[in-house]
Amino acid sequence: MNLSFSAEDEAFRQEVRAWLDEHMVGDFARIRGRGGLGDMDAFVDERIAWERELAGGGWTCLGWPTEYGGRGASLFEEVIFYEEYARAGAPGRVGHVGEHLLGPTVIAHGSDAQKARFLPGIVAGTDLWCQGYSEPNAGSDLANLSTRAELRDGRWHLTGQKVWTSLAEQAQWCFALCKTDPTAAKKHHGITCLLVPMDQPGVSIVPIKQITGSSEFAEVFFEDAVTDKDNVVGPIHGGWRVAMGTLAVERGASTLGQQLAFVGEFDRIVAAAKETGAASNPLIRDRIADLHMRLKVMRLNAMRTLSAHAADRELSREASIVKLYWSVWHRDLGELAMDVLGESSAICDPRYEELHRLFLWTRSDTIYAGTNQIQRNLIAQRALGMPR
């Protein structure tokens, strides 16, 4: 057992750190720590500029193969990058969906022409994507979706509604799951994954105000929206397998390095506990120590997963365990954030605005990218092999 990174990996860490130090200046320094989860609609223009800055340094799409404009980084290097990114307080990524969800999906299932057309814009930080999976009647039961797409006159025509679509207002493109064969015997058989331009008359976006008061996600209405015949990822009617691949990525590698971002939040709460005097309360002390220990173990779990899967990059079994662990931890941290504020916790004090935001935002962590109940189903059935 050995928990240190190799000399090459450490050199890579220094390179990332040096670049971030050098570039997180000026306008970018002003948005340090902003635009993360719960704050995704903040400083959008600056963060779009930041995407391009990252791209200029070759720091987007690290894990992609070099032939698609990535760095061909190892899983270790990716995790190191996320760790340093969090340590530097670099702003929340608006390019996240393209880089982590759509891009890998196109690499795995797309045609050469699609790769040539769509990947460069993601690498360059110029094309932003959103994920159109969920619908009013298709959440956990994603296969129940009903947005229709039909091929007419050489184009796909889409009609239906998506919901909870993060970054819909900023994105130029949406990858949407649509029903293309309503007569299919099994409901996950007639589904197709389409790439749809957002800027067209058939697409309307209605922002949804969420628990935090901000609007990070939206309803997306397709009313005879169109896209080219060729903008299908994977086989027609074969989008379900494509979608499952995306979800595995969503629950996988990119979360392994986020522990350091959590360290920053945890430290902030410890500082608040000292300011308010809550740090002398034995019950609060017990919870602070408990969360501290669990946070350390979060990284250890990640390192074990990494050690086991650096070579095969097969994270689907562990992914549910990782997601369940961090989402519950984060929610508990959110609750502690209020409790350290003491009896005036409900007062909106500008000094502690981010603690309120954390408390409210963390209610979503146990819902998106597969609810905790769905994760437990997966763990029981896949990792423990319990009967269906």
Partner 1 sequence: MDFALSWEQTQLKEAAAGFLAALPSARDLLEGRGTLEDPAVWKRVAEEQGWPAILVPEEAGGFGFGQVELSVVFEEFGRTLTSCPLLGTAFATALLLECGDAQAQERWLGAIAAGEPAAVVWSGISAEEGPFGWTLEGQGVAVDGGMASLLVIVAPQGVFVLPADLADRTRVPHLDPTRPSVGVSVSAVPAERLTVDGLERARMRCESLLASEAVGAAEATLQLAVDYSRVRTQFGKPIGSFQAIQHICADMLLAVESARSAAWYAACAIDAGADDAREAARTAKAMACDALFHCAGQSIQVHGGIGFTWEHDCHLYFKRARSVMDLLGHPREHRAAVAQTLLGDA
Ligand X SMILES: Cc1cc2nc3c(=O)[nH]c(=O)nc-3n(C[C@H](O)[C@H](O)[C@H](O)COP(=O)(O)OP(=O)(O)OC[C@H]3O[C@@H](n4cnc5c(N)ncnc54)[C@H](O)[C@@H]3O)c2cc1C
Minimum CB separation of residue 293 from ligand X in Å reads 27
Interface pick for ligand X out of 134, 254, 255, 327 (rule CB under 6 A):
134
Interface pick for ligand X out of 133, 221, 240, 326 (rule CB under 6 A):
133
Long-range contacts, 287-292 (Cβ 8 Å, 24+): 287/332, 287/336, 287/339, 288/336, 291/266, 291/329, 291/332, 291/333, 291/336, 292/266
Query: CA 180 to CA 123: how far, in whole Å?
Result: 30
Q: Does 264 bind partner 1 (CB under 8 A)?
A: no
Among 31-39, 62-70, 148-156, 374-382, the segment contacting partner 1 (CB under 8 A): 374-382
C-alpha count within 13 angstroms, C-beta hemisphere, residue 34: 17
- Residue 381 binding: pick among ligand X, partner 1, none (C-beta 5-8 Å cut-off by kind): partner 1
Minimum CB separation of residue 205 from partner 1 in Å reads 36
Closer residue to partner 1 (CB): 30 or 296: 296
Buried b / exposed e over 160-182, threshold 16 CB at 10 Å, is bbbbbbbbbbbbebbbbbbbbee
Report yes or no: 386 and 376 within 8 Å, Cβ to Cβ: no
Q: Which residue is nearest to ligand X (CB)?
A: 139
Q: Does 2 bind partner 1 (CB under 8 A)?
A: yes
Report yes or no: 48 and 35 within 8 Å, Cβ to Cβ: no
| Residue 18: burial class (beta carbons within 10 Å; 0-12, 13-18, 19+) | exposed
Closer residue to partner 1 (CB): 57 or 277: 277
Q: Does 259 bind partner 1 (CB under 8 A)?
A: no
Supply the DSSP string of 157-173, one letter for each residue: EEEEEEEEEETTTT-SE
Mark residues 355-374: x for contact with ligand X by CB under 6 A, - for none: ---------x--xx--x-xx
Q: Does 388 bind partner 1 (CB under 8 A)?
A: yes
- Residue 279 binding: pick among partner 1, ligand X, none (C-beta 5-8 Å cut-off by kind): partner 1
Q: Does 311 bind partner 1 (CB under 8 A)?
A: no
Q: Does 172 bind ligand X (CB under 6 A)?
A: no
169 counts as catalytic: no
Report yes or no: 239 and 219 within 8 Å, Cβ to Cβ: no
Instruction: Name the residue with tokens 């410890």.
Output: 270
Query: Quick one: tokens of 163?
Result: 């919901």
Range 208-237, binding ligand X (CB under 6 A) = 217
Buried b / exposed e over 146-159, threshold 16 CB at 10 Å, is ebebeeeeeebbbb
Query: CA 47 to CA 6: how far, in whole Å?
Result: 32
Q: Which of 77, 83, 250, 265 is catalytic?
A: 250
Going by the DSSP 8-state scheme, the letter that residue 147 receives in this structure is -
Closer residue to ligand X (CB): 49 or 367: 367
Q: Does 280 bind partner 1 (CB under 8 A)?
A: yes
Query: CA 319 to CA 126: how far, in whole Å?
Result: 29
Closer residue to ligand X (CB): 111 or 381: 381
Report yes or no: 155 and 147 within 8 Å, Cβ to Cβ: no
Among 60-68, 160-168, 210-218, 318-326, the segment contacting partner 1 (CB under 8 A): 318-326
Going by the DSSP 8-state scheme, the letter that residue 344 receives in this structure is G
Interface pick for ligand X out of 14, 111, 140, 144 (rule CB under 6 A):
140
Question: Where on the chain is the footprint of partner 1 (CB under 8 A)?
Answer: 1-6, 9, 76, 270, 273-274, 277, 279-280, 282, 285-286, 288-290, 292-294, 296-297, 300-301, 303-304, 306-308, 310, 321, 324-325, 373, 375-377, 379-381, 383-388
Question: Where on the chain is the footprint of ligand X (CB under 6 A)?
Answer: 130-134, 139-140, 164-166, 217, 364, 367-368, 371, 373-374, 377
Active-site amino acid positions: 250
